[in-house]
Amino acid sequence: MAAGRGAELLRPPTSSGRATFLELFFDLAFVVALTRVSQRFADLGNDTGWALVVGVGRTLLLFLALWLIWSHTAWITSRYEPEQPIIQAVVVGTMFAGLIMAVTLPRAMEERALPFAAAYLMVMVVRPLVIAAALRGHPRRLVPFRLAGWAVVSAPLWLAGALGPDRLRLPLWAAALAVDYLAWGLGWPLPWLGVSKVSHWRIAGTHLADRYQQMFLIALGESILVLGVVFSGADYSAERAAAFTVAFATSALLWRIYFHRAGLLLSDALDRAVMPGRLGTASERTHLLIVLSVLATAVGYELVIDHPFGQPRPSWLLFVVGGPALFLVARIRLEYEIFGRLSRSRVIGLVVLLLFTPLLARWAPMVGLSVVAGVLTLVALLDALRSRGRPLEVSSSPIAREASDVRDSEA
């Protein structure tokens, strides 16, 4: 009977795979957060050398903290029934904490460090304890206890970084975030409580795929928002109008390339998986890179629209070319996860983009963005030629076919 107590929180096999309206509402906080991340990146537009490296490192750290909060929530709602009042309360509470992190993010490395860290720790420490209490006697209650235990380990580093000298904030928070990601990767091992690797969790695979696709679209929507805000606020000129047009075409190409076959079949692959948690874990890392690449590309739009034929700088090259290059790398990885093959069109596009990079360092930003759009167009055309006249493939993920020898009762 003890194992049955709290079982109503678990997702039943008949539960819908679609994201609930509450989860879509929850994503609104992360629309704000991603916009703030993009703005921090854009503020680095005039930086060079070590200042650029430190600025990118700080913003990347804040993004990774936000991503961990969002990703944990996506897994929770894929593992537990989101229609249950306690899970809904957890999601709304996480949304509020995420909104605090979003509004403090522009100065989170400066005077707003404490509220950012406090909101993060509220989610990482308190949320799993609430879920564990709601599960009562169910064996799965040990999993959130593990999460809370590891969060307590990293909490002193977060607080020391927030309260200590500014110069120590980045290394202390980097160490804290490394602990949190290491715990996620290892399955939060603790003495007497054992380990619970995410790849062994029983989850709603279709729901998790839906959440990753939605986050990609949110990031893509943020890039469209950047386009509209920057172009509407700048003095009109034919050069800026051309940059606006090419940037929009680039976003449309990113959408096309992502959803062509592999992105479209992510839900099917997770639904067919023997161990959906294993494929979901790999897909989580891939979508982290995809979302980051879209944000970086959006920053490139802002730099180009503001100064389409300005002097080239290392900072704009990092975003205008680096963002799409990272997207192609992540999309190659997604192709392998779904079909077990290397995407030749994306490899060709990546190689062409890298070959052009030394030349783009000496050309105007508008030229760089145009070359990027041309390369992405090439990838999309190669995709269309390869699939022309062929039926839609069935996912054959090598990761999804792998079965685990570990069967833990809490999985």
> For all residues of the chain together, what is the average pLDDT?
89
Q: Which CATH number fits domain 206-401: 3.30.1370, 1.10.3470, 1.20.1410, 3.40.50?
A: 1.20.1410
- pLDDT-derived band at 1, boundaries 50, 70, 90: very low
Tens-digit pLDDT profile for residues 239-270: 999 999 999 999 999 999 999 988 888 888 88
- pLDDT-derived band at 401, boundaries 50, 70, 90: low
Residues of the chain with CATH 1.20.1410: 206-401
pLDDT value at position 213? 93
Tens-digit pLDDT profile for residues 157-187: 999 999 999 999 999 999 999 999 999 999 8
Strand partners, 80: 10
Tens-digit pLDDT profile for residues 87-146: 999 999 999 999 999 999 999 999 999 999 999 999 999 999 999 999 887 878 888 999
Please say if the pLDDT value at position 404 is more than 60: no
Please say if the pLDDT value at position 409 is more than 60: no
Please say if the pLDDT value at position 403 is more than 80: no
User: What region, left, alpha or beta, does residue 49 occupy, with left being phi > 0 and alpha being psi -120 to 50 degrees?
Assistant: left
Give, in order, the Cα–Cα distances in Å from 370 to each of 147, 247, 301, 310: 46, 8, 11, 15
Please say if the pLDDT value at position 305 is more than 50: yes
pLDDT value at position 16? 63
- Quote the tokens at residue 33: 């957060």
Secondary structure (DSSP) of 190-257: BTTTB---GGG----HHHHHHHHHHHHHHHHHHHHHHHHHHHHHSPP-HHHHHHHHHHHHHHHHHHHH
- Quote the tokens at residue 399: 């990761």
Please say if the pLDDT value at position 280 is more than 50: yes
- Quote the tokens at residue 9: 């929180």
Rounded Cα distance, 355 and 374, in Å: 14
- pLDDT-derived band at 406, boundaries 50, 70, 90: very low
Nearby residues of 190 by Cβ (< 8 Å), 6 or more positions away: 145, 146, 149, 150
- Quote the tokens at residue 316: 């704009």
pTM: 0.93
